[in-house]
């Protein structure tokens, strides 16, 4: 992320507080899809409910998107600067059955699907499941 954390929050209309800056910094450094538990472990001095409320705020202002990978626990990933989380901007996610990590496949767009007239798509959840490249170790 080229711009400061404070500027990044302000750009999305979020007031930068110490906790928000700390959480954004932690997510940026992980550069990965994270769960609430991951962030609790990383930020052990911050209350779980504070982390959750901050993630909810970040999602509301489209600073991050959520992923339901079927594990029973929502995952979170920071959005790109240009992302508005519109259905046409959403991408595929991959959940590894071995290491249990979830990956954003940002260069893999969700295919357009024909829906009935008068239906309005607000979000899409497209998760592929299998074995990631690291766990597969080059096997085919």
| Ordered domains of the chain (ranges, CATH) | 5-136 (1.10.10.10)
Instruction: Provide the Cα torsion 74, 59, 46, 36; round to 10°.
Output: 10
Tokens of 109: 């767009």
Asked if 63 contacts 25 with a C-beta cutoff of 8 angstroms, the reply is: no
Q: Please report the pLDDT score of residue 5 as a whole number.
A: 84
Q: Please report the pLDDT score of residue 114 as a whole number.
A: 87
Q: Please report the pLDDT score of residue 104 as a whole number.
A: 81
Query: pTM score > 0.95 for this model?
Result: no
């Amino acid at each position: 992320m080229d711009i400061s954390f404070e500027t990044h929050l302000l750009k999305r209309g979020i007031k930068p507080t110490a906790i928000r800056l700390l959480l954004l910094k932690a997510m940026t450094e992980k550069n990965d899809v994270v769960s609430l538990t991951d962030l609790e472990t990383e930020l052990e001095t911050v209350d779980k409910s504070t982390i959750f409320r901050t993630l909810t705020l970040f999602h509301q202002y489209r600073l991050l998107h959520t992923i339901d990978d079927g594990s029973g626990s929502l995952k979170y990933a920071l959005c790109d600067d240009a992302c508005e989380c519109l259905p046409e901007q959403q991408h595929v996610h991959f959940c590894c059955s071995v290491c249990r990590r979830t990956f954003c496949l940002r260069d893999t767009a969700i295919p357009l699907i024909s829906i009935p007239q008068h239906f309005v798509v607000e979000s899409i959840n497209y998760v592929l499941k299998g074995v990631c490249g690291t766990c597969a170790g080059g096997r085919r």
